[in-house]
Amino acid sequence: MRLFTALDLPPELTQSLTELQRHLRPAARMQWSPAANLHVTTKFIGEWPDARLSELTAALAGLPVTGPITVRIRRLGFFPNPQAPRSFWCGIEAPGLPELAEATDYSCAALGVPCEKHPFSPHLTLARLRTQVRLQSLHHAIAGLPSLEFGGFEAHSFFLYRSVLQPTGSVYTKLAEFPLIKS
């Protein structure tokens, strides 16, 4: 099974970002992320054997509890760059999130999952670009936004997700929840 860890968004923030997508969608032909798929990835694990799921969940449950993470969503950008974009994202500012991502990376590495090759760059994917797309209209629509501040929330848990690739896009299912706060 294909797995990743992520922070969930509260429903009101998901709705706000869905409205942003609805506003920007006519400006560029991209594969827009469904509302149900909006999340902040902390670690892409990749293919993982079903028989070892309990081992992975135990490792993730053993990560240090650091307290809630305050997340702010602001700015828009492109990966890997605006000239040859493959994804369109909102930026994430969240003290403590890089540490959670690093701890998750180390914990998964101890189980044989390759460590991340690039520095952690927290973001929320709004859309993917499968082909080269003219983005002038999108840049114009972004320039017309009243603000590039899209809200925030306090994360009290992170989740292990399963991702199933479908012809219409990925379908995500939560497999486990891991609190960031001692109970």
Whole-angstrom distance, CA of residue 157 vs CA of residue 80: 29
Quick one: pLDDT at residue 103? Answer: 96
Tokens 């990376």, residue?
105
**pLDDT higher at 45 or 167:** 45
For 108-167, the pLDDT digits (tens) are 999 999 999 989 999 999 999 988 888 899 999 999 999 999 999 999 999 999 999 888
pLDDT category at 83 given cuts 50, 70, 90 is confident
Whole-angstrom distance, CA of residue 91 vs CA of residue 152: 11
Whole-angstrom distance, CA of residue 114 vs CA of residue 60: 15
Helix/strand/coil for 180 = coil
The answer to pTM > 0.75 is yes
Single-letter amino acid code for the residue at 64: P
Domain 2-179 carries which CATH code?
A: 3.90.1140.10
For 27-43, the pLDDT digits (tens) are 999 999 999 999 999 99
Whole-angstrom distance, CA of residue 152 vs CA of residue 61: 25
Question: 26-35, 53-62, 90-99, 100-109 — which is least confidently predicted?
Answer: 26-35
How do the domains of the chain map onto residue ranges? 2-179
Quick one: pLDDT at residue 134? Answer: 85
The whole-chain average pLDDT of the chain stands at 94
Whole-angstrom distance, CA of residue 115 vs CA of residue 49: 18
Cβ atoms 36, 91 nearer than 8 A: no
Quick one: pLDDT at residue 183? Answer: 67
